[in-house]
A and B are shown apart, each in its own frame.
Chain A
């Protein structure tokens, strides 16, 4: 179980038995004192352009990568490598006819895509894209703004973004969008709970909800290691949150046509499309910030030249690389996994993810409490390193509980599987229920007694189709006449 080792690492990386480990306050470390309003505006426009370009690029990227996975070229006509394909698509959707259904609630119908698209951009305001840089002579962090509760902003904005979906579904005045909107909203708000809970562990580790503070706190160890479980939960929920395959239940084509945006066309549809992709960038950027050290260079690169490549504009490079790793992951998922069933998806969210993430948060709280010396100051030394007794004890307890739970769960599952294993009877009557049923592999057909159907009665071959039709039709006839 790597839980114990990960937490162990954190315990080792900190001097044991010191109470003042947590940052004394939760305020951001990013310093905006030398940022006039026009620099902030430039940064905001920069982030907007960055996101738009990334979206243009990622749609092409997705189609090419999926094409490669499915052994076909993907779009390759417009521009070099087909890079301008997205631009052409965007132009086309702008020129298309914009249809509003007769039953639609017009104002809400127009507002919904606007909400979906704009809310996706807002969260990026608090994501640190790089270290402190100099823009026109002003020393400013590469981040639009930061507040002590910045991560809550992402969650709050995500929860407002839901309205884009629910209102689009309702205001279309049509059944499929309504159902799709309901599904999608249920999905997003359910997975938001688990997502918020998974982030709580990071707040406990860093002692702050400010993104710049969280990035700064990861300078020695990225939180993907001590909070590996949170990372796993976050990655699952971020796919659920963005309505992407395998969790794109809202637009299950077989059941709901297009889901909440069935009735939308032209630019308003493009807004939803844009919102979806920017949302992917937002959740990936948050994952980068929370778990992968944000804009900080990977450890071995950070060591080069005494941190010369770790900070300033270099941060933007590392951040973008990490971001695109997540984007590739999204595409990979889409290329390899089928859609899950809706009830399974909801059960997984409510009955597995939320309770187990709650338990994990409690465990992290205890681990942090032990590290900060709330549970006793005793220490002992192994191999030259001083360890806090409480930390070791708590980590071992958590590990044992986790192991035991995994063991019991595995046992139960094995039992269930054994119980669910279906042994088909050796012989079946092919038209017992009144209609013909083919035999399962290894099954024998019961011979139809009482009805003489020629000389094949004693044969053990599967009954041929002509025989089946005569067998099924004759009793029905008798019944109708008798």
Chain B
């Protein structure tokens, strides 16, 4: 086991555990913070795998923008932030969720782990540099890439359509 393997295992474990904590904590701001840890350590995974560009973009977009906006939304709403007994999931549902989730994970792990245990990937291969990523994005994947811009525009308009509040003054609501 090389140092890299070790670091990857550590970072990957942090990612998984914090993702789990994000969905199990009853405190909504803590959930957002665990999500932050999870996304940040995912960037760490990319860095360990030698993909600086992907890792840093992950940090910039998910950690730097998306979770900040989540926290913003939480702070701007008047909804109670702490644990709420009346809206928390009943115990049997949680137990069921644990069983189902655990079973699915076990199934996938049983399938994938033996298969990929011996797989070897050369992490320092030169065809994954920034230039190559740029060529892939603007050459091979230009169509999905452009479609994504449409998707973002749709999200923008949708957010506007949903969140618009009409002002009371005449002539100002448009």
Q: Which residues of A contact B (CB under 8 A)?
A: 25-27, 105, 108, 147-149, 152-153, 155-160, 162-163, 166-167, 170, 178, 181-182, 185-186, 189, 192, 209
CA distance A178 to B75 in the complex (A): 8
Verify B56–A185 contact, CB threshold 8 A: no
Please classify how large the interface on chain B is, using the bins under 10, 10 to 19, 20 to 34, 35 or more.
Answer: 20 to 34
Knowing A108-B33, A159-B64, say if A170 contacts B71 (CB, 8 Å). yes
Chain A residue at minimal CB-CB distance from B53: A149
Given the complex, which residues of B lie within 8 Å of A182, measured CB to CB?
A: 72, 75-76
Given contacts A25-B131, A162-B68, A166-B72, 16 further A-B contacts (CB under 8 A): A25-B129, A27-B129, A105-B29, A149-B52, A149-B53, A149-B130, A152-B53, A156-B64, A158-B64, A159-B59, A159-B64, A170-B71, A182-B75, A185-B71, A186-B72, A209-B130
CA distance A334 to B22 in the complex (A): 42
Given the complex, which residues of B lie within 8 Å of A167, measured CB to CB?
A: 33
Verify B56–A153 contact, CB threshold 8 A: yes
CA distance A126 to B130 in the complex (A): 18
Nearest CB of chain A from residue B63's CB, rounded to whole Å: 6
Verify A185–B130 contact, CB threshold 8 A: no
Interface of A is mostly: helix
Contact of A162 among B33, B52, B64, B75 (CB under 8 A): B64
**Interface residues in B67-81 (C-beta closer than 8 Å to A):** 68, 71-72, 75-76
Q: Which residues of B contact A (CB under 8 A)?
A: 29, 33, 36, 40, 43, 52-53, 56-57, 59-60, 63-65, 68, 71-72, 75-76, 129-131
Contact of A147 among B43, B52, B59 (CB under 8 A): B52
Verify B129–A148 contact, CB threshold 8 A: yes
CA distance A163 to B65 in the complex (A): 11
Nearest CB of chain B from residue A373's CB, rounded to whole Å: 18
Verify B29–A189 contact, CB threshold 8 A: no
Chain A residue at minimal CB-CB distance from B63: A160
Nearest CB of chain A from residue B53's CB, rounded to whole Å: 5
Verify B129–A192 contact, CB threshold 8 A: no
**Can you list 14 A-B contacts with CB-CB less than 8 angstroms, sorted by A residue number?**
A27-B129, A149-B52, A152-B56, A152-B60, A155-B64, A156-B59, A156-B60, A159-B68, A160-B40, A160-B64, A170-B75, A182-B76, A185-B68, A189-B64
Contact of B56 among A156, A162, A189 (CB under 8 A): A156
Most buried by A among B40, B56, B57, B131: B56
Nearest CB of chain A from residue B124's CB, rounded to whole Å: 13
Verify A189–B65 contact, CB threshold 8 A: yes
Given the complex, which residues of A lie within 8 Å of B65, measured CB to CB?
A: 159, 189
Verify B33–A160 contact, CB threshold 8 A: no
